[in-house]
Chain A
Amino acid sequence: MADKILNKLYIKVWRQNSPKEKGRFETYEIEDISQGSSFLEMLDILNDKLIRDGKDPIAFDHDCREGICGMCSLYINGRAHGPDREITTCQLHMRKFNEGDTITIEPWRAGSFPVIKDLIVDRTAFEQIQHAGGFVSVNTGGIPDGNAIPIGYDDAEEAMDAASCIGCGACVATCKNSSAMLFVAAKVSQLAKLPQGKVEAKRRARNMVAKMDELGFGGCTNTGACELECPKSISISHIARLNREYLTAKFSE
């Protein structure tokens, strides 16, 4: 069955030329959008129209368009990655919208994620947190047989769940405090649950939290919003583990 066509939509979008310049909302009309198209395709169509009209196209982040790279962001109609669960923006489809809707699109809002242009924000703060400790620096020798180190099923699963974080920043964007705790917790957890990573778990938690604070992210107040807006459904129980690792690290200093 052919997809329904949305005859008219109003796209209210944040336009900002540079990090220093003051931004503003602009509303564009767009016609004949198939409900079968993805949200980013709709933006491509809108940009095509803007270019043909001699206007500056809307700058937005995107890369793989299959939900694994974490590049696409966008706060759509009041929610990170738009009105659906467990998806990135590239996995959002126009069937979630109705005829005549006004769709509000904003960039991630956090002091630590400054706007570069329009809807693109600078997420290098996440890289900086990773550089502070999100790695294994113990000598692990040559390549061992994958099965030589026994790891319990539950631990392996939990580590893998944490490792599914794509660093998109939806947790920060959706958190009322712009807290990066879910991201940091996932990065700490994915290593803390495994033998090679466990060795440096305390140091890692301490350094990554210190970097997170230094970069100006807010504190976690356990609202749980991040978990529900996370495209990978990373559990806030990882945050409890991060707190545990951090506190034991601090108390053993």
Chain B
Amino acid sequence: MSKGSFLSASIGRKFFMSITGLFLITFIIVHMSINLLLIFDDSGDLFNIAANFMATNPLIKVMEPVLALGFLVHIVWSVGITIQNMRARPVGYNKAIQSVNSTWASRNMFILGGLVLVFLGLHLFNFWWKIKIVGDPLLEHITVMQGGIPTEMENAYLLVSTLFKESIVYCLIYIAGGILLGLHVTHGFWSAFQTIGLNNQIWRKRFYVLANIIGWIFAIGFSVIPLYFMIKF
């Protein structure tokens, strides 16, 4: 296989966008499932146990750099593809009505992705930076009974809940982040299957429906957490 030409070919580039996109979706499913534990136990034990499990799990440790690479490829490639696509039309139309033939999300994946990236930066600063790098007084170790055994762990729940309880602005930003990600996925999910060639007349409708379901689940799943803290506390 001549790798050079595949990497620079239009379909080759998109192939990498698709597989990294699908990989990131699997990560987001896991991430959202654990986050949702925030709203099912106000003592925070449930979320702390899950967060501690993820932080100490060897499989997750191995996957962390892979995940970072997945993000990196997805983001860097998207810039390259977008520049290439913009170059293909040096003179634009004076009048173009695109809403009649395509969805807004499908035409604005780069903008949606860019906004998600801005959110991601803020999100990493809020939590990952504090948990993994600099630490935070709110993260002081606590002892949680895990399966009858007292286990010492960081109080990640306190860090997360404090952010949402103290700032409506952050709540709104996190709700927006969830909605933007959901919109991105409504096109990204089915589009990935189209690009890797696993699509036909019958499966196309199924992928469309699935993409919308997953997009809505992400949007609602992530928004409901800050909403819960806004309403209850």
Residues of chain A whose beta carbon lies under 8 Å from any beta carbon of chain B: 14, 25, 75, 77-79, 104, 106, 109-112, 174, 176-179, 209-210, 212-213, 216-225, 228-229, 235-237, 239-248, 250-253
Given contacts A25-B94, A219-B81, 14 further A-B contacts (CB under 8 A): A104-B94, A176-B85, A176-B89, A210-B5, A218-B89, A219-B11, A219-B85, A221-B191, A222-B106, A239-B194, A243-B197, A247-B196, A247-B197, A250-B12
Question: At the interface with chain A, which of B96-104, B124-132, B176-184?
Answer: B96-104
Expressed in whole angstroms, the Cα–Cα distance for A110 and B2 within the complex equals: 29
Question: Which B residues are in CB contact (< 8 Å) with A77?
Answer: 95, 97
Is B229 an interface residue, CB under 8 A from the partner? no
Range of interface residues on B (Cβ < 8 Å): 35 or more
Given contacts A111-B87, A112-B88, A219-B84, whether A241 and B197 have CB atoms under 8 Å apart is: yes
Given contacts A106-B95, A111-B90, whether A243 and B194 have CB atoms under 8 Å apart is: yes
Give, as a whole number of angstroms, the nearest-CB distance from A233 to chain B: 12
Is B195 an interface residue, CB under 8 A from the partner? yes
Given contacts A220-B10, A243-B195, A253-B2, whether A78 and B88 have CB atoms under 8 Å apart is: no
22 A–B contacts from the bound complex (CB under 8 Å): A78-B96, A78-B97, A79-B97, A79-B100, A79-B101, A109-B93, A110-B88, A112-B88, A174-B101, A177-B85, A213-B9, A219-B81, A219-B84, A221-B191, A223-B107, A225-B98, A228-B102, A236-B204, A240-B198, A242-B11, A246-B11, A248-B197
Contact (Cβ within 8 A) A110 B89:
yes
Given contacts A212-B10, A250-B6, whether A240 and B88 have CB atoms under 8 Å apart is: no
Task: Please tell me which one of the listed residues A106, A179, A242 contacts residue B88 in the complex, with CB atoms under 8 A apart.
Answer: A179
Contact (Cβ within 8 A) B195 A222:
yes
Expressed in whole angstroms, the Cα–Cα distance for A243 and B191 within the complex equals: 12
